[in-house]
Amino acid sequence: MSRVALITGGMGGLGEAICIKMAALGYKVVTTYSPGNKSWNEWLDSMNKMGYGFRAYACDVADFQSAKSCVETIVKEVGAIDVLVNNAGITRDMTFKKMDSVNWDAVMSTNLDSVFNMTKQVCDGMVERNWGRIINISSVNGQKGAFGQTNYSAAKAGMHGFSKALALEVARKGVTVNTISPGYIGTKMVMAIPTDVLDSKIIPQIPMGRLGKPEEVAGLVAYLASDEAAFLTGANIAINGGQHMH
């Protein structure tokens, strides 16, 4: 029986690469899309024309009840979730001087509360079955901070605090909980940064002299989801081309 992998925010650049990688390894892949996303159907059709067989469900990951009913439907229609990748996230960048509670709350609820909302629905089942993988996609900016990102950096750092604490609670039950902190990856979100800023400010900070590829992060997700990674838990794995080391 093939395992079920749920990737939140799977229609973004990084999420899509993770979905494709997991499907290639034989997982039944399920993703979520935000209820306001009008083009989810087109994405799903184009992916499934390529033979991936993805399933997609509407879910406001920032809302506990929405997460609960979404996961209940997935379990009924697809099966129990073995791998959860908390990948959904947004940015609302501005200096702290300009930061208001609306933009603080939006990022905290989508990027951090979502990790509780989604994990809460699947963790007990994983513990009962003595096997599970919870993988939280954080950011280099959660490790080192970033100008104009007090909200984003706080949420992304919070994800790893969550990973460490939950890892301790479920370690004996065959369930691992880990964080991945990507640096600048060539996704649509990063490619939207003006070229001169990328070339003059961001890429010079990366010792490898290039952006990461979504597939490189997806490969790391695939490893953490595997049986071989059973002894790896509570870790924060940086994948940033050498931009930040600690």
Q: Could you read off the pLDDT of 36-77 as tens digits, one per residue?
A: 898 999 999 999 999 999 999 999 999 999 999 999 999 999
Residue from 27, 33, 57, 152 carrying the catalytic annotation: 152
Question: Which domain, by its residues, includes 115?
Answer: 4-239
CATH code for the domain of 188: 3.40.50.720
Euclidean distance between the first and the last CA atom of the chain, given in angstroms as a whole number: 40
Residue 40 belongs to a domain = yes
152 Cβ neighbours under 8 A, 6+ residues apart: 91, 92, 93, 107, 111, 139, 141, 142, 146
Q: Residue 1: is its pLDDT beyond 70?
A: no
Q: Are 59 and 66 in contact (CB under 8 A)?
A: yes
Query: How many angstroms separate the CA atoms of 55 and 43, rounded?
Result: 11
Tally of domains within the chain: 1
Calculate ∠ Cα 91-241-16, nearest 5°. Answer: 50
> What pLDDT score was predicted for residue 63?
98
Residue 26 belongs to a domain = yes
Active site residue 184: no
Residue 245 belongs to a domain = no
202 Cβ neighbours under 8 A, 6+ residues apart: 184, 193
* Chain CA centroid to CA 116, Å: 13
Residue 244 belongs to a domain = no
pTM for the full model? 0.97
Q: Are 204 and 162 in contact (CB under 8 A)?
A: no
Residue 32 belongs to a domain = yes
Q: Could you read off the pLDDT of 169-219 as tens digits, one per residue?
A: 999 999 999 999 999 999 987 888 899 999 999 999 999 999 999 999 999
